[in-house]
Structure 1
């Protein structure tokens, strides 16, 4: 009986030893793995920091901006969470999300003030791509966001009737519509006087800036007003000397005097000479 007890104790001791040995080997191996992982992460982060350092040396942007730009290009917000903190991290994730129109990335903003803004922006961008007026009006967002959608919709429109037909009950939207479309028409027709019809100041100013900076051809004869001043011709009259040849024809084609209807003084109108094949600047046929 005593002998059996000793054997049992030895057996239990052996089992306990084996269990302790297994635990020892497990924790030793796990610790080694963690060290390798930590070392790899450290090497990776050091390498990434080194790369960012190199970028920062040649880039005009800040450390944060470089991370954001790289994340946008890679279409992932992983580096935002790993390398930035607090509001900088949320700002990074937000910009990556909207740049890639990714609602999945908006999820990473949960709990921040940017979460709703992220979803709203992506919804707006999707609707803007549709280029549909009713879709803009159906946006379940604030009025400012709806206006952003409408601005995009009106950007290539020239029919002022759209405003009267669509916004009889909303003066703000109607005013926005009329201002943008009048702006578009003025720029297209290069009519600086139309800028005065634009009620919203920012569109009126933009219209004036664009048209004042463009080389104008007020009479549409093909010669810019600045050149007409040089030729001493009338920038508001296609045919300054009323001989039937436009100022462009006289200065650019036949080299006749745009201020004299009979350049060579032979008693025949410049246009008549050209029409009949004669040289309006002297004797002989037109070459």
Structure 2
């Protein structure tokens, strides 16, 4: 496999200190990594980016579907666990493509020191995990811009994404901008599209006249979004519609809230089953039924 890595120029400097020359270490700089359209190439690129603490950019092959046939980050992650800042630029799709669809692994896990940014049409799909976060398990920072999570499944919380606190006290953060969430599922847990857990921060933003849609997701509770003891959940120009709660008729099919700060602005929560937001404490702002 041919690897292409951008040439990084490092500047060396010297300085006079207390009667002698002190050599400064070369300054680390970000790299750009073009990624050929194959499972092995994507795994190698993530490993390469993880090898330095600086932010690196992975330019995915335009229109490629990266078919992940096995786990490469422990037993539960298609990609190596992300431990440094990494951006992936599409358009491209990363999919769980295990034989017969039986592979029990999500697409990505972001560790407490890591961050993952998906831009320009990157799609994570068909993640399928015994645990939390069918598409992405986030313990660090995740940002989607013009990208999406669709058709992912978890047995625990967060069919699409789970913001999950860690014993070390990391406060996870997820930001979605013009990035729809659809067709994600958790059979037993909270948050079909997104689970915003302990001390997590979730920000979802569309644009005027073209809202971001959270639709067709299902969960035991909070078919669209479930925010439980999180720090903040902010929905702006976002439509939460046609999501479903699976376990009982009393559960919120749209948005479920238990504690934490929540703000909704031009964010209709409608046509969810069994209801939109009933049972939330405190109530979900600007939501009825």
Q: Highest Rg: 1 or 2? A: 1
Structure with the bigger percentage of helix: 1
- The answer to whether TM tops 0.5 is no
Structure with more relative contact order (C-alpha pairs < 8 Å, separation 6 or more): 2
Q: Sort the TM-score into its range (normalised by shorter chain).
A: under 0.3
Structure with the bigger percentage of strand: 2
